[in-house]
Amino acid sequence: MATALKGFKLKLYPTSDQQILFRCTFGCTRFVWNKMFAMQIARRKNNPKQWLVSRFGMDSLLPLLKKEYPWLKDIDATALQMATDQLADAYTRFFKGQNGFPHFRKRTYAQSYTSKCINNNIQVVDDHHLKLPKAGLVYFKAGRLPAGKIKRVTIRQKSAGHYEATVLCECEIADLPKTGKSVGGDLGLKALLILSDGQKEPNLRYDKQLAKKKHQWEKKKARRLLGAQAEIARDKHEHPNNVRTLEDFKNYQEARTMVAKYAAKEAYQRQDQLQKYTTWLVQNYDLIVLEELNVKGLLKNHKLARAISNASWGRLVAILAYKCRWYGKELILVPPAYTSQECSSCHERNQRLGLSQSQWLGVREWDCPSCGTHHDRDINAAINILNKGIKTAA
């Protein structure tokens, strides 16, 4: 039976001592990253022909670093090893052209660290307790419990202040039963996905549902930030040896946290819809064909950018891609050119019925001038996308 890596998210409720340990680990892993990164830059500057130190070489430097800074021994050793692994991976991605050049890590409101599972030092003890290195048993809530062999865990403190754990497990997976059905899908804004068989998934505007309350707190945050900055400037002038930071202004931190909570709620709601819908798709169809959109280019349209971002087309395709690989289904992406203008019955292009591009975008139904077939614009596009995918598969 095939295996795959799956991530399980757990919402943590650590004690005050465990929170202190987490914050110390965030700082220590950030310190190790910055030290190793500075070493790599200095080494390259002194001798440009010198190779970079590999992840194994950086791991061998950790004992020396612990002797120089003994407080590094107070946290999980595998978290420090993962920091060097991530730095090596960042360099690898840079050389492949996948990412930009690595940068120094700064302390932010959202922080994280990763620990490896060695000798069962990470365990799901029961339905509500996760055993972590150094931290012991941490209480959690989860919709799905982690299953399979635990490989590593990432602890995150979100901008809103709460803690999450992402447990990466190696799980056995089996192909889903074949249904013999194929479907094409047209990504949209009024409906998230319109299928060639006429079914539509509604595009729920989570950003609008919480917009009023979020905007109120955003205004408070902006006003309180200006006030805090004025107080900090006064401190620098009147008593420069005792200057407050933004963390010392409780009113500003309250507003910042509330804005982050509303933003997180939007993201969680959208993610929940995408996960449930993509699971339904792979359960009901063997071949799924979608259009390959240039989302980055579409976001340049400032009138639609917010709606496109809320729809999360890229995230939907990414989730669907890995679920198709897991469960033995097939996903094909095809170019979207002329899918809405071509008649799915006679395959003649209507050239936008003589309308301009902006006028054509407002047409939701049309009659084919060649064969007279009446079309729903989105369903017709979905059928054409399916036909393109079948040709590609053949």
Helical residues (DSSP H) of the chain, grouped into ranges: 16-46, 55-68, 77-95, 206-209, 211-238, 250-284, 295-298, 305-311, 313-327, 357-361, 377-393
**Torsion angle defined by CA atoms of residues 220, 224, 225 and 231, in that order, rounded to the nearest 10 degrees:** 170
The answer to whether residue 378 is catalytic is: yes
Helix, strand, coil abundance in the chain, percent, nearest 5 = 50, 20, 30
DSSP 177: P
Under 8 Å between Cβ of 97 and 103: no
Under 8 Å between Cβ of 200 and 215: no
Q: Which of 85, 186, 207, 266 is catalytic?
A: 186
CA separation for the pair 148, 6 (Å, rounded)? 9
Q: Which of 85, 207, 266, 291 is catalytic?
A: 291
CA separation for the pair 212, 346 (Å, rounded)? 48
Q: Which of 76, 266, 342, 378 is catalytic?
A: 378
Under 8 Å between Cβ of 305 and 152: no
Helical residues (DSSP H) of 47-75, grouped into ranges: 55-68
Catalytic residue positions? 186, 291, 378
